[in-house]
Amino acid sequence: MTAMQIIFLITGAILLAASTMVVTARNLVHAALWLIASLFTVAILFALLEAGFLAAVQVVLYIGAIAILIIFAIMLTRRVMQDSGPQTNTQWWLGGLIALALFGALWFILPSVVYPLANASVPDNSLKTLGFALVDMNQYALPFEVASVLLLVALIGSIVVAGDRK
């Protein structure tokens, strides 16, 4: 049990507990706060996997923008009667069964696959490699540009959809 494994187990336990609270909390704002906790533990996992850039982007994007957006949406769409009473719909048991079945199947399959592990360490200039990959014509410049167009379309679309009709 090395130190990294202990850190991973603790982080994993917190992540699973927070995710469970997200989907079972009665009060929606509490669920949003638990979501923020799970997003933060995912950032810690990225840092454990030596992808520091992705950890920082995760915090900026998810916690700094998407979580705040979700909290705004919860507060703008509240009705007082909604916070009490069961928060699950009528076929929640079927959803639980499907999720459990999927998890059981994955639990048995995943450890028994033989992965072509590289057993190498992350090179020092991985950030530079990533940067170059984003703008290199032969690598990932096209998905980069398409993602930019997608974000622009989403920006304009959400303004049009949620804007005030005068």
Partner 1 sequence: MIPLSWYLTLAAGVFCIGLYGVLARKNAVAILMGIELMLNAVNINLVAFWRYLTPGNASGQMFAIIVFAVAAAEAAVGLALIISIYRRRNTVIAEDIDLMKW
Partner 2 sequence: MDFSKLLSDPVGFIAKLLTDLLVGQLHFPAPLVNVILMIIGVVVVASFCLVFPLFLIWFERRVVARMQDRIGPNRVGWQGLLQTIADALKLLSKEDITPIGADKVAYNISPVLAVVAVISMWAVIPFAHNMVGTDINIGALYIVSVGSLGTLAIMMGGWASNNKYALLGAFRTVAQLVSYEVPMILSLLVPVILARSMGLNDIVRAQSSVWFIFSAPLAAFIFFATSVAEVGRTPFDLLEAESEIVAGFHIEYSGMKFAMFFVAEFMHAFTVGALTAILFLGGWQGPWAEQVPWLGVVYFMLKAFVGYFLVILLRATLPRIRIDHMLDLNWKFFTPVALGAVVCTMITDKLIPTGVSPWVRGGGLFLANLILGWLTFFLLSGAARKMRQEEEGAGEGHASHAEEIGHDAHAPAEAHAAPAH
What residues numbered 120-159 form the site for partner 2, per CB under 8 A?
Answer: 127
Name every residue whose Cβ is closer than 8 Å to that of residue 29 and which is 6 or more positions away in sequence. 71, 74, 75
Q: State how far the Cα of 12 lies from the Cα of 49, in Å rounded to an integer.
A: 13
- Binding to partner 2 by CB under 8 A, coded x per residue (else -) over 37-76, reads ---------------xx--xx-xx--xxx-xx--xx--x-
The answer to whether residue 56 forms part of the interface with partner 1 (CB under 8 A) is no
Q: Is 78 left (phi over 0), alpha (psi -120 to 50) or beta?
A: beta
The answer to whether residue 44 forms part of the interface with partner 1 (CB under 8 A) is no
Q: State how far the Cα of 134 lies from the Cα of 131, in Å rounded to an integer.
A: 5
Among positions 67-96, residues that touch partner 1 (CB under 8 A) are 69-70, 72-74, 76-77, 79, 82, 86-92, 94-96
Query: Are the beta carbons of 67 and 42 closer than 8 angstroms?
Result: no
Nearer to partner 2, 102 or 129 (CB): 129
Query: Are the beta carbons of 83 and 26 closer than 8 angstroms?
Result: yes
Among positions 120-159, residues that touch partner 1 (CB under 8 A) are 120-123, 126, 129-130, 132-134, 139-140, 143, 147, 150-151, 153-155, 157-159
Nearer to partner 2, 48 or 106 (CB): 48
